Amino acid sequence: MSEWRRKRRRTWFDDIFEEIREMFEDLEERMFKEFEEFEKMAPKIKTPSGMEVRGPIVWGWSMTIGPDGKPIVREFGNVPGRRARGEPLIKETREPLVDIIEGDEEIIIVAEVPGVEKEEIDLNATETELEIKAGDKYYKHLELPTEVIPDKAKATYKNGVLEIRLPRKKAKEKPKGKKIQVE
């Protein structure tokens, strides 16, 4: 094979791969520019210590089926709504994803709160409400679907999942009455 033919083939082959390499480099450069622009648009969050950081922004819905068979949709995250100008209102804390399971004897609440220590979790319950605070990362206030006995509540935390068991308050029985003999 002649020297010219080898160079011609190799050049043609090299040209294709060089063109592909340039395309990937161009794509990579554009992606990095897009990420930089996206990062500039991300709102800053002021931490309790006063330091400003960007993100994370978490927001969404969870859907479960209630005991009556109807869907229950709950919002979660740290973007609870919008301001008048249309800018998102970012909170320092985010709402954890929470499921409420209604049993016959108890209400079970499962909350995802990863990245906190057990000692950082603060739970406060009344007969009708539950407040979950986990460090300075998570906060959730829940209205319970039925009255509970907060003094008998139990909670466990493992692998970022918090489970709270609240015994249902028994409904007051109506007086059955007393049979009266007719004389």
DSSP state of 50: S
User: pLDDT tens-digit profile of 2-54?
Assistant: 555 555 555 666 677 888 889 989 989 998 888 787 777 766 665 555 556 56
- CA distances 177 to 33, 128, 182, Å, are 79, 30, 15
Alpha-carbon span 155 to 113, nearest angstrom = 13
User: pLDDT tens-digit profile of 74-109?
Assistant: 776 655 544 444 544 555 677 888 989 988 899 999
DSSP of 112-152: E-TT--GGGEEEEE-SSEEEEEETTTEEEEEE-SS-B-GGG
Threshold 0.85, pTM exceeds: no
Q: Is the CB of residue 106 less than 8 Å from the CB of residue 166?
A: yes
Q: Which residues fall within 8 angstroms of residue 101, CB to CB, at 6 or more apart?
A: 107, 108, 109, 110
Alpha-carbon span 97 to 140, nearest angstrom = 9
DSSP state of 105: S
